[in-house]
Chain A
């Protein structure tokens, strides 16, 4: 099933020509309108007219997440501010989140690419989609929402949380497609089961899961328990949101990246050179058609491998593997992106000093949990229980408020957290 058959099956030669035309246009736009990029180009002594083929992409500068933060919030816009119709942002403490602006056409393209992704996953206008991605600044909820409407299926704008109620809604509204993070899908299954709802009898034939890395074992587990086909969706807010790529229902393996809109490279994160096809590296994306906030060679920090062989579904767009890991220390907790440095920042703000801490991630009943162990030194210590409990509450509240994650706070004795060669072991990820 295609949504946009002509473009989805464009012969590779034509696709490459289209990519090059769009890249030329992008480079011209970005050089003329974004001072940050103009400065980078000038530094590297690159001019838009030096671009002669797609191979010249390697002469262009990379863009890092930090560049977006440095130009918070609107410094990277390539359009006048009044042409921006929507803003999304990833979580972060004040001044640290990454903000993305969309033009009217960006929003339209996003909806069409999301519709394309849904179609690739086997969704048709007759389907009803239970969308449990969070609505708000996070791109998940609204991204899926507009795609479902665009293709003409029915959207249930559920958003995150209230799992018991969600389980009831599954029964009441009879959705045929579920969209959420894979760990939430399993959690929803558990809660539904406790309420006596048999998930496999609900009539949900497809689950479109993303926003966090998951393993093939987890996919098999989800498919067996929930009785549906579990497919991977790829996206990130800096580039667009969900719908940058999608696993097709035919091959059920490998995510097609919509290459008429996104130019991809896979690089070695250290040498920054392209890795040979099939080898694992960091995914780098250039947004060919974005108007409001286009990015050149954005380093996603997601580790993937390319699957260049043609796909049985007939789409000519290259596939990537599922996300195999991260090339930085970003943690994804229930679909929320969290950097340890953000937590550290909040701890420092909470008590005005740098406490030693450790983050412990676990998966309990298919849900990610975050425990933050904070060492109690003499500055923090009080001989009254209530003061220490208030401190725990304060940290918990700040983490929830600024990062959107619920954490358990545990006060521990000093020097109990493992330190290796003087450097504190900050993270223990026990999820997989």
Chain B
């Protein structure tokens, strides 16, 4: 239900992002989803990759600060109101979304969104109780 996401601290300077992708390319790691949050000084790159342990090792060896966070992949109907339905369930249950971003590929005919919640376990329970499909790690990596 929970999948691991890598987060990388980046100073805002030219070429820094490509050093991350270069490191991953050399280690033979495929990026499945990513999001970049930034301020004027720094950014945080969040990644879901095929091999987290290997990716982390390669990045750390290249001097990056790497963090690990549990995030939740959720299937969203690819139609008007799909995301809205999910957010309503969450808000009705007082669960806060810290951030979210879209997964690159679809699962069958549905979109996949990656969520970071303030209360991860409660969020998973609530979503499942409302018939929302939460993907397992294996499912996600092999879509």
Contact = CB atoms under 8 A, between A and B. Distances in A.
B39 A389 contact: yes
B63 A413 contact: yes
B65 A376 contact: yes
Interface string B1-21: 000010101110000000000
Contacts of A383: 5, 7, 44, 46, 67, 69, 116
A416 B67 CA distance: 18
A385 B7 CA distance: 11
A411 B9 CA distance: 9
Interface string B121-139: 0000000000000000000
A412 B63 CA distance: 12
Contacts of A410: 41
B66 interface: yes
Interface string B23-59: 0000000000000011101101010000000000000
Interface residues of B, number: 21
A381 B7 contact: yes
A388 B43 CA distance: 10
Contact of A378 (B37, B42, B63, B66): B66
Interface residues of A, number: 17
A414 B65 CA distance: 7
Nearest to A414: B65
B67 A381 contact: yes
Among A377, A378, A382, A383, the most chain B Cβ lie within 10 Å of the Cβ of: A383
Nearest to B41: A410
A413 B7 contact: no
B109 to A, nearest CB: 30
Given A376-B9, A413-B11, A381 B65 contact: yes
Contact of B65 (A385, A389, A413): A413
A378 B66 CA distance: 7
Interface string A337-378: 000000000000000000000000000000000000000111
Interface of A: 376-378, 381-385, 388-389, 410-416
**5 residue pairs, one from A and one from B, having the closest CB atoms:** A383-B7, A381-B67, A383-B69, A376-B9, A381-B65
Given A382-B67, A411-B41, A413-B65, 6 more contacts: A378-B66, A383-B5, A383-B67, A384-B99, A384-B116, A413-B63
16 contacts: A376-B9, A378-B66, A378-B67, A381-B9, A382-B67, A383-B7, A383-B69, A383-B116, A384-B116, A385-B39, A385-B44, A388-B44, A412-B42, A413-B10, A413-B63, A414-B65
